[in-house]
C-alpha cells in the first residue's frame, strides 16, 4: 500500500480523514477500511499510432469503497496521472458521494497521456482498448466512469459503444457525461461549475452577503471554471479575474464573461482578450474579492501563499487545491474554505441524475436538473455549516466529519465494522 502514500495528495487526503475521524471518534475498524482502496486496477494499453508504430500507455482505475452503492468517479487523461493521485481522488469521491447523500461509492481512473498530442483516431483507439481492459470491473451496477480532466462526452460515447458491443446489447448506464442524444442528461456539462456557484451563493448568504453584489476571481477557465464564471456572471456577480493555461486576466469593474466565452470559442485560450489587463497567476490568488474559486489542479494554495489571500470565501472547484497547512492558515484568518468534496459535488450529483434517468428511461428538462441540483447543494452545505458552527470547526473538517458519520453508520449496518 506504500505506492499510494508516495503522493502528496494522498497523504493530504488521509491527514484530513484522520483529523475528522478523531473529532467524531470514528470507529477504528471503519477508519482502517477507509484508509486504503478496496481494489486498484493497473493496465497496459497498446495503441497502434497513425505512423503504424505501437505505443503502450499506462492506465489505472482505483475503486475505493462501495458501501453506499456502485463505484462512481471520473476518468482523466493527463501526462501526470499516476496510481497515487488516482487513489487519492478515489478516496475523495467516496467522501463526496456520501456527503451529497448519493447511493454511490467512490472510484477514479486515468491514463498517463497527453490527449492533445494524439489524433482523433489515436484517441479513439486508446479509449476503446482502455474500456476493454476495464470491462470486467465496470458496469451500470458495478462502477460507472465519467469525464474528468482531459476527457469529454465523446470519450464517454466511445466507452459506451465499446462496452455495449462486448456485452451484446446497449447499456447506456455504464458511463455518465454522455451526449444527450445517447442517454446523457441535460445540464451535465455545466453541472460542476453551476454547483460551485450554488455553494458560493449559500456561503455568501450565511455571511450576510448577496451573490449579485459580490466579486469573484476564478482560477481556471475550462470545464469547471468557465461554467462557474458563466453562471456567476449570469446571476449578477462581478467576475474580476479569470485564468487558464495561457495567462490571467483582470478587470476591476468586472469582465464581460459572455464576450470572453465567444473569444475563447474562436481562439481556444483567454490570452489576447482585449477587454481586460494581464496580471500574473499569483496575483489572481491574492486579489481582494469576496469569492476565490480555484478550478484548476491541486496544490495551488499552500503555506507559501495562504497568508496573502484576501478573499472572504474560497470555493474549491478543483480537487485538492488547498493543502492542510494553507487550510489552517486561512481558517485562522477567518476565511471560509468550502472544500472540494462539497464545492465541486455538482458534477457527480448530475452524473447520478443521468444514471437514474438511464435506468428508468425517463429524462428531465434542464430546469428540473438545475432545480434538483440546487436543492442538494444547499442541503449539503447547510449540514456542513451547521456541524462547523456547532463544533467550532473549519468547513473542511466539518464536511469530512459529516460524510464519515453517514459512511460509518452504513458500514456498521452492513456488518463491515464492529
The Cα 185–Cα 17 span in angstroms is 32
Strands 105-112 and 247-250: unpaired
Q: Which residues lie below 8 Å from residue 47, measured CB to CB, with a gap of 6+?
A: 54, 55, 56, 57, 122, 125, 126, 129
Task: Spell out the long-range contacts of 77-81 with Cβ–Cβ below 8 A and sequence spacing 24 or more.
Answer: 77/110, 77/111, 77/113, 77/114, 77/115, 77/149, 77/150, 77/151, 77/155, 78/110, 78/112, 78/113, 78/114, 78/115, 78/149, 78/150, 79/112, 79/113, 79/114, 80/112, 81/110, 81/111, 81/112, 81/113
Helix residue ranges, H only, 141-255: 153-167, 191-206, 225-234
Q: Which residues pair with 250 in a beta bridge?
A: 241, 277
Instruction: Report the run of H or E that residue 132 belongs to, with start and end.
Output: helix 120-134
Q: Where are the beta strands (DSSP E) in 220-274?
A: 238-244, 247-250
Q: Are the CB atoms for 62 and 1 separated by under 8 Å? A: no
Give the position of cell 489587463. Answer: 277
Largest CA distance in the chain: 63
Helices (H) and strands (E) in the chain, counts: 15, 12
Q: Which residues pair with 314 in a beta bridge?
A: 292, 337
Count of CB atoms situated within 10 Å of the CB of 142: 14
Could you give the residue numbers annotated as active site? 108
Amino acid at each position: 500500500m506504500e505506492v499510494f502514500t508516495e503522493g502528496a495528495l494522498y497523504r493530504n487526503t488521509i491527514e484530513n480523514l484522520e483529523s475528522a475521524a478523531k473529532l467524531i471518534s470514528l470507529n477504528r475498524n471503519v477508519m482502517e477500511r477507509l484508509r486504503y482502496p478496496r481494489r486498484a486496477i493497473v493496465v497496459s494499453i497498446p495503441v497502434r499510432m497513425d505512423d503504424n508504430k505501437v505505443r503502450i500507455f499506462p492506465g489505472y482505475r482505483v475503486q475505493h469503497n462501495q458501501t453506499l452503492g456502485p463505484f462512481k468517479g471520473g476518468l482523466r487523461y493527463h501526462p501526470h496521472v499516476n496510481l497515487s493521485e488516482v487513489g487519492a481522488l478515489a478516496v475523495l469521491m467516496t467522501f463526496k458521494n456520501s456527503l451529497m447523500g448519493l447511493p454511490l461509492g467512490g472510484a477514479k481512473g486515468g491514463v498517463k497521456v497527453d490527449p492533445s498530442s494524439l489524433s482523433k483516431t489515436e484517441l479513439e483507439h486508446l479509449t476503446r482498448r482502455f474500456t476493454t481492459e476495464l470491462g470486467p470491473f465496470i458496469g451500470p451496477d458495478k462502477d460507472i466512469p465519467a469525464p474528468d480532466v482531459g476527457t469529454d462526452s465523446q470519450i464517454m460515447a466511445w466507452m459506451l459503444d465499446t462496452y455495449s458491443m462486448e456485452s451484446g446489447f446497449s447499456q447506456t448506464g455504464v458511463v455518465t457525461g454522455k451526449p444527450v442524444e445517447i442517454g446523457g442528461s441535460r445540464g451535465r456539462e455545466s453541472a460542476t461549475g453551476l454547483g460551485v456557484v450554488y455553494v458560493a451563493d449559500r456561503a455568501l448568504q450565511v455571511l450576510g452577503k448577496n451573490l449579485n453584489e459580490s466579486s469573484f476571481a476564478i482560477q481556471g477557465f475550462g470545464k469547471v471554471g468557465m461554467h462557474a464564471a458563466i453562471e456567476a456572471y449570469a446571476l449578477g456577480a462581478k467576475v474580476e479575474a479569470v485564468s487558464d493555461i495561457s495567462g490571467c486576466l483582470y478587470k476591476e469593474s468586472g469582465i464581460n464573461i459572455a464576450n470572453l466565452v465567444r473569444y475563447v470559442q474562436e481562439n481556444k485560450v483567454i490570452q489576447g482578450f482585449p477587454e481586460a489587463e494581464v496580471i500574473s497567476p499569483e496575483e489572481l490568488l491574492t486579489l481582494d474579492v469576496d469569492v476565490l474559486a480555484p478550478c484548476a489542479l491541486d496544490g495551488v494554495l499552500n503555506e507559501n501563499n495562504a497568508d496573502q489571500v484576501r478573499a472572504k470565501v474560497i470555493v474549491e472547484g478543483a480537487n485538492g487545491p488547498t493543502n492542510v497547512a494553507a487550510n489552517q492558515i486561512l481558517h485562522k484568518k477567518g476565511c471560509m474554505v468550502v472544500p472540494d468534496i462539497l464545492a465541486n459535488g455538482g458534477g457527480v450529483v448530475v452524473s447520478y441524475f443521468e444514471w437514474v434517468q438511464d435506468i428508468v428511461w425517463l429524462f428531465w428538462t434542464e430546469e428540473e436538473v438545475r432545480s434538483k441540483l440546487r436543492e442538494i447543494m444547499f442541503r449539503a452545505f447547510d449540514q456542513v455549516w451547521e456541524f462547523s458552527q456547532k463544533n467550532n470547526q473549519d468547513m473542511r473538517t466539518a464536511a469530512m466529519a459529516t460524510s464519515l458519520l453517514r459512511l460509518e453508520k452504513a458500514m456498521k449496518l452492513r456488518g463491515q465494522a464492529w
